[in-house]
Amino acid sequence: MNKLFSYFQESFFHDFSWIPSSLERATAPPDPRHEHFSAFLTGKLLLRNEIPLDNESFQQMESSELLATIPAIEKHPWGYKCRRCGNRKRHLFASLPDGAVYCRNCIMMGRVSEKEHLYAYRPDVQWPKHVDACQWNGELTPAQQHAANQILSAIGKDSLRLLVWAVCGAGKTEMLFPGLNLAFAQGKRVCLATPRADVVQELLPRFQSAFPSVEIQALHGTSDDKSGSAPFIIATTHQLLRFGRAFDVMIIDEIDAFPFHKDKSLTYAADRAAKETAARIYLTATPRPKHEREIARKRLPVVFVPRRFHGHPLPVPQFITAFDFRKTLKHRELSPKILNWLKKRVNADRQLLIFVPTIEDAVIVTDILSFYIPSITSVHASDPERSQKIQSFRDKSYETLVTTTILERGVTFPSVDVLVFDSGHHVFDQAALIQIAGRAGRSPDDPDGEVIFFHQGKTEAMVKAVETIWKMNKLGRRM
């Protein structure tokens, strides 16, 4: 019942019929006067002050119906809804002295009130067609090739969703190349959205060298060019709040990652940024239960990439009980179980990556371990030296890095053993533990790092994480 309701809710609140549809758009004749401008305007929902035109030209565009004028806030018997960010929470609306209701949720992008409008460009825009744009010469592994074929066929068809369930280290970027090659040949507009700005920055040069003839723009909070006028946009999910019915292909990286699965306005924006007929490709190493249910009911097609690009299986976490972990930590000591393991490490040449539940734990553990391991440091989310420390660890200036869950995804180090202290702590959910285990064995030169969960009692998250890793390794052997 609850699920049915939420399904109903989603289809109701994700109603974007107020955006001029692409069919309607196709009928409006393109206006040569605004040709250079149309790439910037198309697929956007902009405020008046985001459109760089003087009042006269603006009014001309509006009256010739090149621009659709859309009220920004919907009023319903149950309350208000912001069309720009999807906000429906009562406490995130307020009114101005003249009574006009405004949205507080997306106010950092400029305030929208009942009196303001969003402007959408009606005419259809033709994007350049690049045949054989892909210049990448590498070779896909059989597992990558299998997924790449599925992605290609999803992009070839309309209105298809596909979840790519690829293990950490599968090489997902390259799997997209054949599909994108097809998309650009057909003149499709593509968006790759990811939760983190550093991933946007890392991906841009890789796609630029693979597709040198295609114009690609990176959009994130601090990017210089925010015009968003290219046929291929790589963006943080926040940037999608300015788009509406823009993309023929919508790729969402790490669909399970925070803040994407928590912030409803980002789900709303990602949904809206894709055209009605768009192919939607979701990438993840650890799907959320919602998507797993959809997969089980055969509502969401899925392709597994159970093998890492180097062909070796995922390191399987070992459990070691350390019931005295908290007790010994209070006395500023580490559990003998941990110390013992450190003494008898199989491969002491590897760097050590240690995950702890809290910032306080990180500080204490680092302090204690510095007695045994002189070259050690810790990082956490609000650490101002975070990126320098990660870089120093990568440069092997540190032997050991103690971290909170902030390093659970994205960052890769070639040769590490991974330890989790108090792995039963609630911050380590199943997805986090799989991602953490995925930090080990990333390099083909050293594919078997150890992963140890030191715990004070097994949790369901720990058991499920290991089951999932086993399942993937089993699937991988069959390929």
Partner 1 sequence: MHCLNCHEIILHQVTWSNLFSPPSDKKICENCFSQLERISLPQCSICARPMDVNGICQDCERWESEESWRGILEKNVAVFNYNETMKGIVARWKYRGDYILIEMFKYELQEVFQLHFSQQDLLLVPIPLSQERMGERGFNQALAIASLIKAPVREVLTRIHGEKQSKKSRKERVNTENPFQLLEQVSKPVLLVDDIYTTGTTLRHAAKLLKEGGAPAVYSFTLVRSG
111 binds, among partner 1, Zn ion, none (CB under 5 to 8 A by kind): partner 1
Q: Work out which of 92, 185, 359, 363 binds partner 1, going by CB under 8 A.
A: 92
CB of 268 to Zn ion, least distance (A): 10
**Residue nearer to partner 1 on the CB measure, 26 or 100:** 100
**Residue nearer to partner 1 on the CB measure, 263 or 324:** 263
Q: What are phi and psi of 327, to 5 degrees?
A: -65, -45
Tell me: does residue 262 bind partner 1 (CB under 8 A).
Answer: no
CB of 313 to Zn ion, least distance (A): 46
CB of 298 to Zn ion, least distance (A): 35
Count the site residues for Zn ion by CB under 5 A: 7
Contact criterion met (CB below 8 Å) for 54 and 45: no
Query: Which one of 97-105, 174-182, 211-219, 391-399 is the stretch in contact with partner 1 (CB under 8 A)?
Result: 97-105
Q: Identify residues 48-107 at the interface with Zn ion (CB under 5 A).
A: 82, 84-85, 87, 103, 105-106
Q: Work out which of 53, 70, 107, 427 binds partner 1, going by CB under 8 A.
A: 107
CB of 98 to partner 1, least distance (A): 7
Report the distance separating Cα 49 and Cα 224, nearest Å.
18
Query: Which one of 93-101, 137-145, 261-269, 382-390 is the stretch in contact with partner 1 (CB under 8 A)?
Result: 93-101
What are all long-range contacts of 335-342, with beta carbons under 8 Å and residues at least 24 apart?
A: 335/454, 337/454, 338/419, 338/421, 338/454, 339/372, 341/419, 341/452, 342/372
Beta bridge partners of 403: 355, 379
Tell me: does residue 100 bind partner 1 (CB under 8 A).
Answer: yes
Query: In the block, which residue shows the tokens 């910037």?
Result: 40
209 binds, among Zn ion, partner 1, none (CB under 5 to 8 A by kind): none
CB of 43 to Zn ion, least distance (A): 19
Contacts of 473 (CB under 8 A, 6+ apart): 306, 313, 314, 316
Q: Work out which of 111, 264, 288, 310 binds partner 1, going by CB under 8 A.
A: 111
98 binds, among Zn ion, partner 1, none (CB under 5 to 8 A by kind): partner 1
**Token duo for residue 16:** 């974007």
Dihedral-angle region of residue 110 (phi above 0 means left; psi in -120 to 50 means alpha; beta otherwise): left
Q: Work out which of 54, 56, 98, 139 binds partner 1, going by CB under 8 A.
A: 98
DSSP, res 473: H
54 binds, among partner 1, Zn ion, none (CB under 5 to 8 A by kind): none
Report the distance separating Cα 318 and Cα 333, nearest Å.
22
106 binds, among partner 1, Zn ion, none (CB under 5 to 8 A by kind): Zn ion
Contact criterion met (CB below 8 Å) for 110 and 82: no
Report the distance separating Cα 478 and Cα 263, nearest Å.
38
Edge-first strand listing for the sheet containing 190-194: 216-219, 232-236, 190-194, 247-252, 274-284, 161-166, 302-305
Tell me: does residue 94 bind partner 1 (CB under 8 A).
Answer: yes
**Token duo for residue 455:** 């715990």
DSSP code per residue over 71-127: ESEEEETTEEEETTT----GGGEEE-TTS-EEESTTGGG---BTT-EEEEE-S--PP
CB of 229 to Zn ion, least distance (A): 24
Tell me: does residue 104 bind partner 1 (CB under 8 A).
Answer: yes
Count the site residues for partner 1 by CB under 8 A: 15
Tell me: does residue 102 bind partner 1 (CB under 8 A).
Answer: yes
The CA distances from residue 24 to 66, 123, 273, 274, in Å, are 11, 8, 17, 16
Tell me: does residue 96 bind partner 1 (CB under 8 A).
Answer: yes
Amino acid occupying residue 160: L
CB of 107 to partner 1, least distance (A): 5
User: By 3-state DSSP, what share of the chain in percent is helix, strand and coil, each rounded to 5?
Assistant: 35, 20, 40
Q: What are phi and psi of 367, to 5 degrees?
A: -60, -50
Three-state secondary structure call for residue 455: strand
CB of 104 to Zn ion, least distance (A): 8
Amino acid occupying residue 4: L
**Residue nearer to partner 1 on the CB measure, 115 or 458:** 115
**Residue nearer to partner 1 on the CB measure, 104 or 310:** 104
85 binds, among partner 1, Zn ion, none (CB under 5 to 8 A by kind): Zn ion
Tell me: does residue 110 bind partner 1 (CB under 8 A).
Answer: yes
Tell me: does residue 91 bind partner 1 (CB under 8 A).
Answer: yes
**Residue nearer to partner 1 on the CB measure, 95 or 159:** 95
Please give the residue ranges that form the binding site for partner 1 (CB under 8 A): 91-92, 94-98, 100, 102, 104, 107-108, 110-111, 113
Please give the residue ranges that form the binding site for Zn ion (CB under 5 A): 82, 84-85, 87, 103, 105-106
